[in-house]
Chain A
């Protein structure tokens, strides 16, 4: 058997390992997805409960007022969407300290956690697009066309430029994220049509079309935390068999360019949303969440131990 054939067999054996997983193991491999749903629905529920059922932590101290654009947690901590605040700033308006402070707090959180943690763990539209992506995989719908994933950065730039030109926060006024969130918390309008459009677009036209190609908020968060994110998926090249299952489930497969991440030791791209699909799936345990400072230590040790000799 030549070396190439040997590698192929190894990769196939890895895929076989995934197939042979028991139901319990499968369930365990969905842990991050379940946690993400808990996080996404939990945040929605906190907003909804505060708005409609008067949820309080103490007398006259509401739990979480507002919505994802701006909010106040336990009547004390202001939070705000830095992208929305940036757009308003570009319309030439000076904002009050509270919202600027809130934007700063949120910005700092995602600077450390990884910007697109917002996309996978908080954004309500992710519920819609994940459903579309799952159905698309199930129904095996082939792509009609491809567009460059960097179009989102163009959208980001357009949102900022249009904010200057029109004098209103350009993305906030058309954002399906805002529509969905407001309509769940404050009452139904026609925003669900926009969400239906996104769902159909993602399902039938372009895989991961909205979140992975167009959304300017996702682009904004991709830029934030690109170099500072502390929680990342580490990549251990010494155990990887290149079976490719990770890239198959990844909504942003370009971030799993194995050659490049081998050099760095982890998935470094700002476009990775820490969604946690790849790491529990990996049959060899080559991909796993880790703290950035620990990654180098881990990879040096495993390379030194020579757990797998090529």
Chain B
């Protein structure tokens, strides 16, 4: 091989090596930023995390639009994907503006305009730490229930008798079909560390799998396998049903 050609090949190899090293470094930084942090709570209407990370242009117009100063852009070197909006409910929760100004300010659609009703937003899911919830411990608190903007739907109270005294226990229960993840409950929780807190759905929510059939629920579709056999065509005329089953409802007939 002549010297010129050899030199050229070495140059190409060197250039490629530098470019490849740089690209690897760049890729690594992108991976670190985009994938390592599942804890971000996004403004209402945010697309699923991967799509949100791709489409958010990091302009901060949602931050400017929020009248409560709830939102902030993740700074470089922080725990969250750089430049994207997030909120910390314990500091300032989302107060569920009915006109959704943050979503309207978003120029890219990362906060999707398909969200028409703020109550349909799913920023996260409130989760109760039963061991540290005052109500679950037996005190009368229920502040989360009272403060919840969807009280009665997103958080309900269940009463339970208490073994050792006459007073009932009032258990707050969160329902994922109505909870928006606004975090007003987390902000209001009076314990030192919030005993109810909002987390991204994928951090807390399980999935039972489609192959289970809950036969006792009304809306469960009964598949062919489990359908009872059709009643055999009876040849004999049906026995005359007695007007009243013996013994039935005698308690309700006012006879006693």
Chain A residues proximal to chain B, CB less than 8 Å: 50-51, 62, 65-67, 69-72, 78, 80-81, 84-85, 88, 91-96, 98-99, 102, 154, 158, 162, 165-170, 172-174, 178-179, 182-183, 185-191, 193-194
Contact = CB atoms under 8 A, between A and B. Distances in A.
B83 A172 contact: yes
Nearest to B113: A96
Contacts of B77: 189-191, 193
Contact of A95 (B22, B30, B55, B59): B55
Contacts of B61: 65-66, 70-72
Given A162-B26, A166-B27, A70 B76 contact: no
Contacts of B76: 179, 183, 189-191, 193-194
Contacts, number: 141
A167 B77 CA distance: 21
Interface of B: 19, 22-23, 26-27, 29-31, 33-34, 50-51, 53-55, 57-61, 63-65, 72-78, 81-83, 105-109, 113
A191 B60 contact: no
A162 B60 contact: no
Contact of B54 (A72, A168, A179): A168
A186 B59 contact: no
A173 B60 contact: no
A84 B55 CA distance: 10
Given A70-B59, A71-B61, A78-B107, A158 B22 contact: yes
B65 A65 contact: yes
8 contacts: A65-B64, A70-B107, A99-B57, A166-B31, A173-B29, A179-B82, A183-B75, A186-B75
A68 to B, nearest CB: 8
Nearest to A174: B29
Closest CB pairs A-B (n = 6): A189-B75, A190-B77, A70-B59, A191-B76, A96-B109, A99-B107
A99 B105 CA distance: 11
Contacts of B51: 93
A173 B107 contact: no
A187 B108 contact: no
Given A72-B107, A189-B78, A158 B60 contact: no
B186 to A, nearest CB: 22
A73 to B, nearest CB: 12
A173 B33 CA distance: 8
Looking at B19, B30, B63, B107, which has the most chain A CB atoms within 10 Å of its CB? B107
Given A88-B108, A165-B27, A193-B77, A93 B55 contact: yes
Nearest to A64: B64
A191 B75 contact: yes
Contact of A80 (B57, B74, B83): B57
A193 B78 CA distance: 13
Contact of A187 (B22, B65, B72): B72
Contacts of B27: 162, 165-166
B107 A80 contact: yes
Contacts of B19: 154, 158
A70 B29 contact: no
Contacts of B50: 167
Contacts of A102: 107
Contact of B58 (A72, A93, A178): A178
